[in-house]
């Protein structure tokens, strides 16, 4: 982790952070767009249910979701899945760089890194089950489920740590400004 920390540390400034946050939001939009377009084509204004949007599912539940999407929905989900291979790295940077900019150590990139790894595992498992559908592979579907659970745990943990660090940093900088007056 120290090597990754020292690699990322030069990019931990407000300009890179702002750019990576904007790119992350843009990537998230492009991830959702194929499914939103599919939903509009079938007359729905809701985001279709996909494996990524579920916190937990059994293999039977997962295959029911894929079945409910239909051919066009699964094709839209495949497009989302391809684009979703960019999101983990951009979210990793979005959750890591601000902590590094606040002079936090290498330990503060562990949870975002584990988020990124578990999201990639989930994406690969989902890609596999989408490609072999209607054939089943329950072990890979279970892997997608548990990797998704880990992804959400590490994402929310990373976000919580980032918010707490941001609040502490803001309070300390406010105290230092008041003391210097």
Domain boundaries, the chain: 2-180
Q: What is the pTM assigned to this prediction?
A: 0.92
pLDDT attached to residue 46: 84
pLDDT attached to residue 164: 97
Give DSSP secondary structure letters for the chain: -HHHHHHHGGG-SHHHHHHHHHHHHHHHHHHHHHHHHHHHHTT--SPPP-GGG-S---HHHHHHHHHHHHHHHHHHHHHHHHHTTTHHHHHHHHHHHHHHHTT--GGGGHHHHHHHHHHHHHHHHHHHHHHHTTS--HHHHHHHHHHHHHHHHHHHHHHHHHHHHHHHHHHHHHHHHHHH-
Residue carrying structure tokens 């120290």? 2
Q: Are the C-beta atoms of residues 130 and 76 closer than 8 Å to each other?
A: no
Split the chain (181 residues) into runs of 10 and give each run's mean pLDDT. 95 96 95 90 88 93 95 94 94 97 96 98 97 97 97 98 95 81 65
> Alpha-carbon distance 94 to 112, whole Å?
9
pLDDT attached to residue 163: 97
Report residue 62: phi and psi, to 5°. Answer: -60, -45
> Alpha-carbon distance 88 to 57, whole Å?
21
Helix (H, G, I), strand (E, B) or coil at 95: helix
pLDDT attached to residue 181: 65
């Amino acid at each position: 982790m120290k090597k990754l920390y020292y690699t990322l540390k030069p990019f931990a400034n407000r300009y890179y952070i702002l750019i990576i946050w904007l790119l992350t939001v843009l990537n998230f939009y492009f991830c959702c767009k194929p499914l939103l377009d599919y939903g509009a084509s079938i007359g729905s204004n809701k985001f279709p249910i996909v494996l990524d949007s579920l916190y937990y599912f059994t293999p039977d539940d997962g295959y029911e979701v894929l079945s409910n999407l239909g051919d066009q929905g699964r094709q839209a989900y495949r497009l989302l899945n391809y684009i979703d291979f960019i999101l983990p790295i951009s979210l990793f940077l979005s959750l890591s760089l601000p902590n590094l900019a606040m002079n936090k150590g290498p330990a503060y990139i562990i949870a975002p890194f584990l988020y990124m790894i578990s999201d990639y595992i989930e994406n690969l498992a989902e890609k596999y089950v989408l490609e072999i559908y209607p054939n089943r592979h329950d072990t890979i579907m279970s892997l997608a489920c548990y990797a998704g659970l880990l992804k959400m745990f590490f994402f929310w943990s990373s976000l919580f740590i980032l918010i707490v660090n941001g609040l502490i940093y803001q309070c300390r900088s406010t105290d230092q400004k008041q003391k210097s007056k």
